[in-house]
Structure 1
Amino acid sequence: MEKSGYGQDGIYRSLRPPLLLPTDPNLSMVSFLFRNSSSYSHKPALIDADSGQILTFSQFKSTVAKLSHAFINQLGIKKNDVVLICAPNSIQYPICFIATIAIGAIGTTVNPAYTVREISKQVEDCKPKVIVTVPELWDKVKGFGLKYVMIGSEEKSNLFGNSKNSKVTWLNDLVKNSGNVSDWFPEAEIKSSDTAALLYSSGTTGLSKGVVLSHRNFMAAGLMVTSDAEFAGERDNLFLCVLPMYHVFGLAVIMYAQLQRGVGIVSMAKFNLEMVLRAVEKYRVTDLWVVPPIVLALAKNSIVKKYDVSSVRQILSGAAPLVKDLMVECAKNFPQAIIIQGFGMTETCGIVSIENPRVGSRHSGSAGMLVPGVEGQIVGVDTLKPLPPKRSGEIWVRGANMMQGYLNNSEATRFTTDKEGWVHTGDLGYFDEEGQLFIVDRLKELIKYKGFQIAPAELEGLLVSHPEVLDAGVFGLPNVEAGEIPVANVVRSPTSSLTEKDVQKFIADQVAHFKRLHQVTFVESIPRSPAGKILRRELREKVRSKI
């Protein structure tokens, strides 16, 4: 094997020390999460930056245990039932998610910025029994007619005035009425191969799909993410989680991976630069794992200088590529911190590669080396043959963290995962001679706006539903602040007087804010392949040639 990790069989292997993954087939990710917690029971596990509430590991464990009993006894949730969480980050979010998993039920998460139409697609697909939400989002979810768990307490909310809603149970009441269970979990027959979560991703093609992740996937990913810190014997870290917990990055890579190591999390409902800096200063946060737009804010905003950020030792950026210059600029505001990148997907439970903070060159623009337990291949797009270092092709990966498949979609599963367990990422990249992975471009056509994924096909479907639109092509244009912005080429019917603003409003009324069109150009026709596929690259190049 070369220094790059490239073997004669065309497979790249991790250059990190090997991992011992749990082998017990009856181990659940919840018992794994708390396996050592008695040795740090008084350490803070969850800190709510918005309310100031703090839960130690022992309080966290007993609250999860009480809620898991309440889910069974008070709401009748059974193994394999689906619980959907539609809420912003809070310390109740992990409690609800972990309590769901503890009884063998399945957690699914949805972006709270979604419209009713977008949420209903997910509800139809995964058929939840219960929706966990917050009073502010009640109007979006009340129409589904399911059972609801409302985060918070009834006394403090005036959601239903003086009347009761028989379908709604308040989280505080569930925990309060669960009896004296201290911190033992309900008996549940859970195998590590059982489904733990359904996380919706735009996948490598088309509309959002439910990625099926098992208990084993979460345990493996948790150990992979934290292997460098474990190897270095780090114990006193504190992570800020401002990235949404409905996303694999917030849920698996920050929340689950760190808590299973006994590392505390400071939760924050939404990104606000000054609030982030205030939380860093107040709680002495050591690790900021974020996305490129937040790195941009940390690098370019002079307000950073007003706060004591000396506790920050590491800033990791993921979800979209980060340019070298921005890393260098950010490092000036955080001279004591190491700035690194990682790469993962929902389909890989959030992790494929990560830069080692202690080894290798800095600010190279690389997505780091493969984490232990993950193998990679770079496959020629035309030849389908494995490629050596410095040659670019599609990135294929496999390991114990790879998804079980897409829910109710065997065709998409076959398209993404082959018989040998390789997940075809749809990303183009290469390994260098040191085994560092560089992401070059995407085969898949997703638009990445501030780390959010936007499927062009969804927006095209909406555009074509307008009576005056004959055809449409949506694609991403590079943008310094957002990474990419969604723009559209639209063919109007001959008699139409539609304006750019009309089209933008038509879309904005139906989708979450991040999917809105930033630009609409009216054209004579949309270029398509003989098979009818929109040639987005041509659309993009046409716009670039005019810039």
Structure 2
Amino acid sequence: MMQVNRSTDYGEILQPRQFPNVTLTDCIFQHLRKHIDAVAEKPWLIDVCTGKKVLFGEVEELAKKVASALACRGFAKGEILYFVTYDIVDMAILQLAVWLLGGATRGSFQTEEPEKFRREMNEVHCKFVAVDSETVLAVKKAICLCDTECTIINVGDANIEGTLRFSDLTKDDGLAFPENIGIDLENDTLLISNTSGTTGMPKGVMHTHKSFVSLMSCCDELSAENGHDESILITANSFAVSNAWTTSVYLATGNTVYCIGRYRKEEFIYHVIKFRPRKLFLYPYISGWLARSPELQKHDFSFIKGMTIAGSVIDPTTIRLLQTAFPNSVTNMAYGQTECLKISLTLNSESCQKSLIGYSPDGEEMVTSGTLFPLIQAKILDIETKKLLGCNKLGKLYIKGLHLMKGYFVEKGKQPNRSCFDKEGWFDTGDVAFFDSIGQLFVRERVSFIFKYFMHFVSPSEIEAILQQHPAVQMACVIGVPNRETTNLAKALVVLKDRETTTEEELLKLVADKLPFYKQLHGGLQFVDSLPENKGRKLDRVAIVEIFPREYVFYLLSIK
């Protein structure tokens, strides 16, 4: 049983049953060995786009062979493998091999320019890089710009001149696999994962073995009684922290992960029907579209028993639509950040499922982010005064715990940037949130997205949630248009569903009927064909604010 200690200021602080003092790979393989006889012939990972897979019974031996082969080629403790690839399966084995050697991995979005690759490769003093047939040319250009020598590993195994085939690494005899590497669990970097760039340039987040293992020790999924049939379908790039976390947990538990390494909206439901996973891991950009897809009415999804939604704030209408479309599924909301891994999670109990939707202190209908995860502390401070707030008070969320990053990566050999931590170790999440009277966390959105109308704070997500209640609306984004008199005017950008229509007047009235005067769309509403997304497939509010206010100002000038 978990021991619960309560703190008036910080909510619940839960201690895990056990916190093993081991590396992440040791933690994973120790758990896997307990039930390897039952799952040896089952696939751990299946890339649904290519059909490539690897079995549980193969993973540990393959990882050690690849680690031995890398060691023979000079890969040493502290090295950082840089990778740019769509491959999921081979890259997962390669990543385990690097971790076994006391190294770290850093991936990048596949369609970046060579100059971006060059900068990141220089930061990590890259000597080893993994590519596939689609990314190799851009990475080779980056290597030329670096003017350095790199061992290029081809994880797709296409015939590419000047590269080392991944399959050749797996043929190693394993004799060069080093023993007693001496990994510092708290300080040695395991993974550098880029943020999604929601509020600016993506940053490299450094995680250690300790942050991953401490979180893994808190997971109920590691209990043996949960069995080995909890397959999940995820849409994640190989470089995403969520992909590393999910695949690690499912490897430890002997459960299959169906990976969509290359997401195409029109193929998503096909993959679900073909592979029939028990669970879905959904980002808001998928869940918002999926909930409103007419395809949901054409198929039987009773085999879906659970959905986890994470990545950013989601509106109550989407949750209700999904619960209606998947009546046999338990819906879990997870809140975390690349910097913090998991912060909170909803529970599976019937009462928790019924209370996924609550109300903010100012009456806004919101979706809960659940209760604090074990080993996490949290506090809410007033945005302007920094005063500590009690429950049912909106403010900025700060957290402290073992799951947090070491810091932002600057350059190999240099101390990480910890400017987002205060002297006591509290991390500034940048999110506006509150705790209700029973300890549930509700996250509204990023502080940087909120704007003022006269002296009132206006939350874009609150207005967006109202707009998305309309049956014709597929997506909505609200921005603050600078105004000399009021500071800002709220303006909505709306994407309609295919073959659906509505009017600006109808949507403006919908908002006016449900929200107070200062939260209404005084800047008007504009229908658009699409909205820009960042690398993490979240709304790129930075790009939107740069594009549309400028157009709107020109429009105002033209009608004066």
Normalising by the residue count of structure 2, what TM-score does the alignment of the two structures yield? 0.73
The Cα shift of 1:408 comes to 2.6
Letter in 2 for 1:277: I
The Cα shift of 1:346 comes to 1.0
1:266 to 1:97, Cα distance in 2 relative to 1, 3 A = same
- SS of 1:198's equivalent in the other structure is strand
Q: Which structure ranks higher in relative contact order (CA pairs < 8 Å, sequence separation ≥ 6)? A: 1
Give the corresponding residue for 1:269.
Answer: 261
Letter in 2 for 1:212: M
Deviation string for 1:221-261 (max 9, x for gaps)?
2344x336749845420111212231222222x22233223
- SS of 1:127's equivalent in the other structure is coil
* Cα RMSD (Å): 3.6
1:172 maps to which of 153, 167, 170? 167
CA distance in 1, matches of 2:45, 2:115: 33
Give the corresponding residue for 1:52.
Answer: 51
The Cα shift of 1:64 comes to 1.1
1:331 maps to which of 323, 330, 346? 323
Identity %: 19
Matches within 5 A, 1:224-373: 224=218, 226-227=219-220, 230=223, 233=226, 235-252=228-245, 254-273=246-265, 275-348=267-340, 350-358=341-349, 359-360=351-352, 361-364=354-357, 365-373=367-375
CA distance in 2, matches of 1:372, 1:415: 25
Deviation string for 1:325-361 (max 9, x for gaps)?
111111222111122211111111x210111122523
Give the corresponding residue for 1:459.
Answer: none
2:25 maps to which of 11, 30, 36? 30
CA distance in 2, matches of 1:231, 1:36: 9
1:238–1:265 contact (8 Å) kept in structure 2:
yes
- SS of 2:269's equivalent in the other structure is helix
Deviation string for 1:249-291 (max 9, x for gaps)?
2222x22233223322112222234543333333331111111
The Cα shift of 1:379 comes to 1.4
The Cα shift of 1:482 comes to 6.0
CA distance in 1, matches of 2:53, 2:479: 40
The Cα shift of 1:175 comes to 1.3
Give the corresponding residue for 1:141.
Answer: 139
1:266 to 1:487, Cα distance in 2 relative to 1, 3 A = farther
1:222 to 1:115, Cα distance in 2 relative to 1, 3 A = farther
CA distance in 2, matches of 1:49, 1:112: 18
1:196–1:215 contact (8 Å) kept in structure 2:
yes
CA distance in 1, matches of 2:196, 2:139: 22
CA distance in 1, matches of 2:427, 2:197: 11
The Cα shift of 1:128 comes to 2.1
The Cα shift of 1:367 comes to 0.8
CA distance in 2, matches of 1:203, 1:216: 25
CA distance in 2, matches of 1:69, 1:313: 40
Structure 2 stretches lacking a partner, 5+ long: 144-149, 358-366, 452-459, 469-473, 483-531
Deviation string for 1:165-223 (max 9, x for gaps)?
2xx211111212x12569x7754221212211111226897533221110011112234
Aligned residues: 460
1:221 maps to which of 177, 190, 215? 215
Structure 1 stretches lacking a partner, 5+ long: 448-474, 490-507, 525-538
Give the corresponding residue for 1:72.
Answer: 71
1:380 to 1:485, Cα distance in 2 relative to 1, 3 A = closer
Give the corresponding residue for 1:90.
Answer: 88
1:400 maps to which of 394, 397, 402? 402
CA distance in 1, matches of 2:97, 2:480: 41
Deviation string for 1:18-42 (max 9, x for gaps)?
3134242xx2111111112223321
1:113 to 1:232, Cα distance in 2 relative to 1, 3 A = farther
CA distance in 1, matches of 2:385, 2:157: 60
CA distance in 2, matches of 1:416, 1:340: 29
1:299–1:330 contact (8 Å) kept in structure 2:
yes
Letter in 2 for 1:68: A
Letter in 2 for 1:58: G
Give the corresponding residue for 1:430.
Answer: 434
1:310–1:334 contact (8 Å) kept in structure 2:
yes
The Cα shift of 1:313 comes to 1.1
1:5–1:12 contact (8 Å) kept in structure 2:
no
Matches within 5 A, 1:187-206: 187-193=180-186, 194-201=188-195, 206=200
Letter in 1 for 2:346: E
1:416 maps to which of 394, 416, 420? 420
CA distance in 1, matches of 2:44, 2:391: 42
